[in-house]
Amino acid sequence: MKFVCEKEKLLIGLNYVTRSSVGRTTEPILEGILLNLKNNTLILTTNDLDIGMEYVVTECDILEEGKTVVDCKMFGDIIRKLPNEELTIYQNDKNLLVIESEGSQYKLSTMNPEQFSTLPVINVEKSVSLLQKTLKDMIRKTMFAISTDENRPIFTGGLLEIKDNMLYVVAVDGFRLGLRKAPVIEASEDFSAVIPGKYLNEVIKNLSENDETIQIGVSKNQALFEFGNCKVVTRLLEGEFLNYNNVIPNERETRIKVNKDNLQGAIERASIFSTTASEKEKKYPIKMFINLGNLIISCTSQIGDAKEEIVIETEGKELEIGFNPKYLLDALKNIEDDEIYLDFGNNISPCIIRPTLEDKFIYMVSPVRLKE
């Protein structure tokens, strides 16, 4: 096998198929990248059996067809550090992969391509098409709420649900919930799938910010993402995801309308006192006291106390409630709206954060009990 390719063209493909975190494995082939030269194209493939990625490089000169596998990280590191010029890459008679550019030559050990697991053929049962930038934005703004608790594996994934040509992306970890929704271009029928959060992150890292589309197809236990020259296949998580419609309260006793930046800034400043250097493991909550037209945010710890006061619009009852400030800030940092609603029941029921205009997101944050 032998081909010639501009470094930048090859690097684009490598960036698509190189995972940001490769787990330790006793099988080196799972950390490899398959270089497959056929039909005048170079196909780059990585696959650790949980997630597989494929990218087709069309702008290269195939001098001899063939295929081989090399260590993905090592190959990528070499390519990235070479000058921005034409590269000649081939397998020599000693089964070493040779990488040449002007004045440079590197040789890598290869692995048997017949032992490499290529991407499975997915029998797509249901599918949806939408803008890449829409999916990227929705996942990015809910991923913070995906659980890392392996004792509840279903919540280590994000729910993608299609209902009536709307996509709902939902993440939950037991302390907060993030939900984003947006219309899709086309959907075959309604469906839902839970995809591991770490693999959703791999999918969105290469999605574009323009009007290019992405096709998502699902089978019984796998999902297929197709966009541009790239394919990604991931496994689905099995189990019953939270029925989020049943846990988001529909009734409220108190509602405030507040400037998002003012609220975020006040919580960030007050939360300086939430963790002290001498008590790194202890988290002090922030306290919110809501009365007519006024919100007081405070935090008291062993090193002192903070108090912030901001103007709000208020409906309903006065309320005193406590929160882990991180959970509120994670939600607020993912909202672009100038003004938002915060809805409350009582001091032990969750806070619901909603937009004041479009019905495009919901964030739910559980409170903490305040000491008397």
Ordered by where they begin, the domains of the chain are 2-115 (3.10.150.10), 126-244 (3.10.150.10), 248-365 (3.10.150.10)
Q: What is the pLDDT of residue 371?
A: 78
Q: Is the pLDDT of residue 280 over 80?
A: no
**Residue-by-residue DSSP string for 225-285:** EEETTEEEEEEPPPSPPP-HHHHS-S--SEEEEEEHHHHHHHHHHHGGGTSBTTBTT--PP
Mean pLDDT of the residues in the chain:
94
346 token code pair: 């009582």
Q: What is the pLDDT of residue 23?
A: 55
What is the C-alpha separation between 267 and 329, in angstroms, rounded?
A: 7
Q: Is the pLDDT of residue 275 over 80?
A: no
Q: Residue 301's pLDDT band (boundaries 50, 70, 90)?
A: confident
Span 39-64, average pLDDT: 95
Span 234-252, average pLDDT: 94
Q: What is the pLDDT of residue 199?
A: 94
What is the C-alpha separation between 317 and 310, in angstroms, rounded?
A: 17
* 8-state DSSP, 167: E
Span 315-342, average pLDDT: 97
What is the C-alpha separation between 99 and 71, in angstroms, rounded?
A: 13
Span 18-42, average pLDDT: 84
Q: What is the pTM of this model?
A: 0.92
111 token code pair: 């692995």
Q: Which of 158, 159, 134 is nearest to 148 (CA)?
A: 158
**SS3 category, 331:** helix
Q: Is the pLDDT of residue 278 over 60?
A: no
Phi, psi of 156 (to 5 degrees): -85, 5
Q: Residue 19's pLDDT band (boundaries 50, 70, 90)?
A: confident
Q: Is the pLDDT of residue 24 over 70?
A: no
89 token code pair: 């890459």
Q: Is the pLDDT of residue 283 over 90?
A: no
Q: Is the pLDDT of residue 4 over 70?
A: yes
* 8-state DSSP, 219: -
Q: What is the pLDDT of residue 143?
A: 96
Q: What is the pLDDT of residue 1?
A: 96
Span 57-74, average pLDDT: 96
Give the residue with greater pLDDT, 279 vs 265: 265
Q: What is the pLDDT of residue 281?
A: 54
Span 70-95, average pLDDT: 96
Q: Is the pLDDT of residue 279 over 60?
A: no
Q: What percent of the chain has pLDDT over 90?
A: 89
Q: What is the pLDDT of residue 340?
A: 98
Contact 252, 333 (CB under 8 A): no
Span 173-195, average pLDDT: 96
